[in-house]
Structure 1
Amino acid sequence: MKQDKAVDETMSPASADHAARFVTQGRLARVRGQNILFSPSQRAIFAVNDTAADIWRSLEEGTSPQAISVEMARSGVDRLEANRHVEAALGDWQRLSLIRPCAPFSPSSAQEPVSQVVAVAGLTIRIVYPAACAFPAVSVFRHLEVRTETADILLQVVEHEGRVHLFRDGDWILSCSRDELPVMLKGQLLTEVLDHGAYELALHAAALVGNERLVLLCGNPGAGKTTLTLALIHAGFGFASDDVTLLDAKGHGVGLPFAPAVKAGAWPLVAEYYPDIDAVPICRRPDRRRVRFAVPGQFVPPSPAPIGSVIQLRRGRDAKACLEPVDPASALRVLLNGASAPGRELSGAAFDVLTQLIGSAQTYRLTYSKLDDAIELIAKACR
């Protein structure tokens, strides 16, 4: 197909909005009579029919979706059917991140956009939402808001054809469904901090404050880190971070106080410590698992604090509650699991910071099945 500038007046309104060009982010090949799409970013293979393959090749040539539909109609395909083919292909490929828009679209709504400036680890980031997409994402980050006219980074959210697109300083970053937006924005804010923040080492650990020192909670997925974090906040610990803690050159920690994302299976447990959890809007992760964001009522200001304790979580059904000391080498292995540094490579200086931390902090392994037992043991050891 070649690009045609003619406008088909019988096209649906949805198709008429397809003025934007798309950039393909995959490779199309024909192997033994079969059309195969390859996604380098996902390392995934998708089989497509001949019609979809023709649409893909036209997108590669820079043809607009509207012009593709017109050309298909001129080749003998029913006009409405051509529109449906193009719309279905674009929808699938955007969902799979195989294509992306070339540039931000003009706002389609007459409503004023919603602007929010948040501060995380010394960075100020402005997020601009269409009014229709602002909630609940804007409420998930409201506790991080600051009043300033300037920002280091601009993130722009744009809705187009049922998908939400995120642009960073005018460049496309990702697309997702509307209910995935809070999760994806949280991930992007974390990426901004890790790429541009000032720190020596980022640890995959929750951080709470007790007795003016940080208590780090580490554990594999499913160890109950988020639930235990909320339970400890309810028990009087200060909230500093749910998932990532930064270390400075002195080995002091700064939490990233993003709202904890509570998975559906933990909602009944969390309700005791966060009574409003059932009223919180449901969001989706990219794997479509449901989560609710438990936005903290208050959190500890993000200033460096010494690490008092490092606790590795090990949850098991009917396990006897036990908090036992861990030797330095084992504690280092736990902290290095998932740790990252500026430039993504752990330097000798970063390792020195980590060994300094382990040398001054208490290190434990917590085995538990009941939250009340875990809270009692941690409170006794860390206060």
Structure 2
Amino acid sequence: MPSDTAELSRPADGPGPSPGVSLHLLDDGAVLFDAASRQLFGLNTAAAYIWCCLEERLAAAEIARRLQQAFGFRASEADAHVAAMLRRWQALGLALPAAEPLRAAAAGRPRRRYRLLDTAFELAAVPAGFETALADLLGPLAAGPAGPEALAVELRETATGYALAAEGRVVLACGERCEVVPMVKGGLVQLALERCAGISALHAAGLGAGGRALLLPGLSGSGKSTLTAALLAAGMTLLGDDTLVLSEAGRARPLPFALCLKPGAWRLLADRFPGLAALPVHRRPDGKRVRFLPPPAPPGPRAGLPVGWIVFPRRVEVGEAALLPLSRAEALARLLGESYSLGDGLDARKVERLVGWIAAVPCFELRLAGLDDAVARLLELTS
């Protein structure tokens, strides 16, 4: 870990691409591929030009000067465009900020120990003012002194915003205070998954019911976090509201941060969680406003639970909630479309394990119109 006055290593002074992010030119634009998340990001011509300058480790001011010359922007427009793109890419973990001294941590600030999957963390929250929000986010991950050696993680203020650093490198960075808590969550997930064994990381919520796991896979906006919160209020235990790891033994391993809830969920959950409206509002890298709701009970076991049910939520406009059987072949195809493989990637051995695993798991699609009806159907299913 660097000292308080050390700089994070960078090959040059300017900002640069994060490891594993590559540019691929296409027609008059380009796409970025992030190997860690297996996501593609489209770029227009100007953004692709900025990225090429980023690969040369040019300072932001020099990138803006070149953009102005190449595209005929006014100086103020070029400065604003470059600054906006760098903030967005850094928030998404696609780019690292320019090398600069990190401001000194407050002396004597206590480190708290957390455990996520196979990795223990010790986090120094700096500057002051983030302790309560981070305690809400990370409370379910709290761990005692026993266990593996802890990875030191620093939340530091920089000249351009904030950075989460570990092992002498910036993991993620952001520009504003309201972005810090989502950044910390994203950075810790990234670090934990880098060190985790298993078959796959699933884009799914998970809950414990009767010693088994209920999986709710789905993309952002499918309603899985809102449904997860309502099921917690009904007595289930939290495994995670966004990402889970499927172990080699076929168990769903938890990543049990506080639940990330967008504005559409706040009203729906107000009766179940009266304190939700008083929680601070944060901003995710995608620009969405969110609140982090601490779960009402301790999370499920760190080793995970055997999967008892897989239910894919699907929003519908009208009608009662309907729980429809889904073929296991269709369920596996959907699940793999919302996951990415750990370690060396997906191979024939892992596919065989997945097929054998899902063959014993009942799979459904939940057509979700009203929250109360959906909760009732899932409580009946898992009882």
1:147 aligns with 2:113: no
Percent identity between matched residues is 27
Query: Residue 115 of structure 1 corresponds to which residue in structure 2?
Result: 111
How far off is 1:347 after superposition?
Answer: 2.0
1:231 equivalent to 2:230? Answer yes
Structure 2 CA distance for partners of 1:106 and 1:195, relative to 1, 3 Å:
same
1:251-282 Cα shifts (integer Å, max 9, x gaps): 12212112111001211112122221111111
1:159 partner SS: strand
For the 8 Å contact 1:201–1:350, the answer to whether it is kept is no
- The Cα shift of 1:92 comes to 5.5
Offset at 1:105?
1.7
**Superposition deviation, residue 320 in structure 1:** 3.0
From the superposition, tell whether residues 101 and 167 of structure 1 become closer, same or farther in structure 2 (CA, over 3 Å): farther
- The answer as to whether partners of 2:215 and 2:311 remain within 8 angstroms in 1 is yes
1:275 aligns with 2:266: no
1:257 partner SS: coil
125 and 39 in structure 1: CA distance in 2 versus 1, 3 angstrom threshold: farther
Following superposition, the deviation at residue 220 of structure 1 comes to: 3.1
Normalised to the residue count of structure 1, the TM-score between the two structures is: 0.75
Q: Deviations over 1:230-252 (max 9, x none)?
A: 11111111211111222222212
Q: Find the structure with the greater CA-based Rg.
A: 1
Matched, 1:137 2:137: no
TM-score (norm 2): 0.75
**1:23 and 2:14 matched:** yes
C-alpha spacing 1:205/1:92, structure 2 compared with 1 (3 Å): closer
Give the conservation status (yes or no) of the 8 Å contact 1:251–1:356: no
**Which segments of 5 or more consecutive residues in structure 1 lack a partner in the other structure?**
1-19, 27-37, 49-55, 69-83
Residues 209 and 185 of structure 1: CA distance in aligned 2, closer, same or farther (over 3 Å): same
Bigger shift: 367-376 or 192-201? 192-201
Residue number in structure 2 paired with 1:340: 340
1:142-174 CA-to-partner distances (Å, cap 9, x unmatched) read: 221223397442221211235112222121233
What amino acid sits opposite 1:323 in the alignment?
L
Q: In structure 2, how many angstroms separate the alpha carbons of the residues matched to 1:158 and 1:168?
A: 11
Is 1:318 the counterpart of 2:318 in the alignment?
Answer: yes
Aligned counterparts of 1:205 and 1:43: Cα–Cα separation in 2 = 25
Match of 1:128 among 96, 119, 124: 124
Q: Pick from 151, 154, 157 the counterpart of residue 156 of structure 1.
A: 154
**1:327 and 2:327 equivalent?**
yes
Gap runs ≥5 in structure 2: 1-9, 18-29, 34-40, 48-53, 63-75
**CA deviation after TM superposition for structure 1 residue 110, in Å:** 5.4
Judge conservation of contact 2:100–2:159 (CA < 8 Å) in 1: no
1:36-86 CA-to-partner distances (Å, cap 9, x unmatched) read xx99786646869xxxxxxx9xx84x8x99xx9xxxxxxxxxxxxxxx99x
- How do residues 370-381 of structure 1 correspond to structure 2 at under 5 angstroms? 370-381=370-381
CA distance in 2, matches of 1:110, 1:213: 44
Distance in 1 of aligned mates of 2:337 and 2:373: 26
| Corresponding letter in the other structure for 1:169 | E
